[in-house]
């Protein structure tokens, strides 16, 4: 029988509606809060070197976030967003990828960037928008990007990276498609991972991106960070379905939900998702469940929409502490050495901050220097008008005015 509607052809003679929560989606959990492998769970094949790199990344990001949150409160930088509570979700997923897989992030994934080799100095240069910033000071703080590390520059508008990730991943697949048969001629070399929050999943770009990936079979891993809140809006005011995972199934995408505070579960889920993507050329959706322990950003006050008791309840499930306990039990980490390293990292972060904040801001011409090979007349006109404006009101632009030629 032909099936032009592309549906399952199981006919029923009874009038029955399917409940909105008929699909019961489990949450993968391997590591207990006490740092033990849970009964019935399979211990992942995670070697000591990778495990320690994951932990050192999580530890660094936790300390960086603490210091830079304070720096914003001191007025030294304008804005900051912490990864607090989601370090395992981001770091472990990045560790399960290849270095040359593409990362398209939202704005809480600095751990993935550091895991790949983004240095302390590079973080500081971006946060202070100085002349050493890879983005030439054109982005607000925490909007990182690195061509060398295959990390697409972050955009502030929610969800824009989702359809972009689908398109990029489809491009990664095209070179492995046999022109005659239209089938995969070989296993795909690389995939794209796309991070976003559950709030971004309410944007139209989410639905367009997932449907396009499913229909065209793009090897993209959609990593949804369900951290409970879209700024101040709780998840139960955002959607009534079973989280984000149910939507993946609805779009015909292989889907898994994981405990995002469980480093081992996230690592295994992402590792398997990548295997599926490279072997089939199809998308996978991972929904990570991890509580956002901090504010949405330094512009947010969570006390206005959630209680201290609620926050305290989830602090007991700290992903960094849980993974550290597991490492200690493996004999792979020394407690006293770990504390000494933390002190050293704090000193290095503060020293790097003091250096970066003294570096000059980018020259004004950097605004237009590489938008085109040669600035077009309209852009050049705008630039000249900007220079005249700054010369007219130098007190309003104290950093820039003195450097205009």
Any idea which residues carry the catalytic annotation? 292, 296, 305
CA distance 156 to 26: 32
Angle (nearest 5°) at CA 83 between 79 and 89: 155
Q: How many CB atoms lie within 10 A of CB 174?
A: 11
Angle (nearest 5°) at CA 291 between 288 and 294: 130
Closest CA to 323 of 31, 72, 19, 23: 31
- Distance from CA of residue 314 to its chain's centroid? 21
- To the nearest 10 degrees (0 to 180), the angle between helices 87-95 and 319-330 is 60
Secondary structure in 3-state letters for the chain: CCCCCCCCCCCCCCCCCCCCCCCCCCEECCECCCCCECCCCCCCCCCHHHHHHHHHHHHHHHHHHHHHHHHHHCCCCCCCCCCCCCHHHHHHHHHCCCCCCEEECCCCCHHHHHHHCCCHHHHHHHHCCCCCCCCCCCCCCCCCCECCCCEECCCCCCCCHHHHHHHHHHHHHHCCECCCCCCECCCCCCCEEEEEECCHHHCHHHHHHHHHHHHHCCCEEEEEEECCEECCEEHHHCCCCCCCHHHHHHCCCEEEEEECCCHHHHHHHHHHHHHHHHHHCCCEEEEEECCCCCCCCCCCCHHHCCCHHHHHHHHCCCHHHHHHHHHHHHCCCCHHHHHHHHHHHHHHHHHHHHHHCCCCCCCHHHHCCCCCCCCCHHHHHHHHHHHHHHHHCHHHCHHHHCCCC
């Amino acid at each position: 029988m032909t099936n032009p509607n592309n549906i399952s052809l199981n006919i029923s003679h009874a009038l029955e509606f399917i409940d909105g929560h008929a699909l019961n989606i489990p949450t993968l959990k391997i590591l207990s809060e006490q740092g033990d492998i849970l009964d019935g769970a399979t211990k992942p094949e995670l070697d000591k070197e990778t495990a320690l790199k994951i932990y050192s990344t999580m530890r660094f990001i936790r300390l960086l976030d603490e210091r830079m949150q304070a720096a914003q409160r001191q007025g030294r930088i304008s804005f900051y967003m912490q990864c607090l509570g989601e370090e395992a979700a981001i770091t472990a997923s990045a560790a399960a990828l290849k270095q040359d897989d593409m990362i398209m992030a939202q704005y809480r994934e600095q751990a993935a960037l550091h895991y790949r080799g983004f240095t302390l100095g590079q973080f500081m240069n971006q946060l202070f928008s100085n002349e050493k910033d890879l983005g030439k000071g054109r982005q607000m703080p925490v909007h990182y990007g690195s061509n060398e590390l295959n990390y697409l520059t972050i955009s502030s508008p929610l969800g824009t990276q989702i359809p972009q990730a689908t398109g990029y991943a489809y491009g990664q697949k095209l070179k492995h498609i046999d022109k005659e048969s239209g089938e995969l001629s070989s296993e795909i070399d690389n995939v794209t991972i796309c991070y976003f929050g559950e709030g971004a999943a309410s944007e139209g770009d989410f639905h367009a991106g997932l449907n396009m990936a499913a229909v065209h079979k793009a090897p993209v891993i959609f990593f949804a960070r369900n951290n409970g809140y879209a700024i101040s809006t709780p998840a139960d005011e955002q959607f009534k379905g079973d989280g984000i995972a149910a939507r993946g199934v609805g779009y015909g995408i292989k889907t898994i939900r994981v405990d995002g505070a469980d480093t081992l579960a996230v690592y295994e889920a992402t590792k398997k998702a990548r295997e599926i993507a490279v072997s089939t050329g199809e998308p996978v959706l991972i929904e990570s469940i991890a509580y956002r322990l901090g504010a949405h950003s330094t512009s947010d006050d969570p006390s206005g929409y959630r209680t201290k008791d609620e926050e305290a309840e989830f602090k007991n499930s700290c992903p960094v502490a849980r993974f550290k306990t597991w490492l200690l039990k493996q004999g792979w980490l020394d407690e006293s050495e770990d504390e000494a390293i933390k002190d050293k990292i704090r000193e290095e972060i503060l020293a790097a901050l003091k250096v970066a904040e003294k570096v000059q801001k980018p020259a004004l011409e950097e605004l237009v220097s590489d938008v085109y090979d040669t600035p077009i007349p309209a852009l050049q006109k705008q630039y000249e008008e900007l220079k005249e404006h700054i010369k007219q009101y130098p007190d309003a632009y104290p950093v820039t005015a003195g450097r205009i030629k």
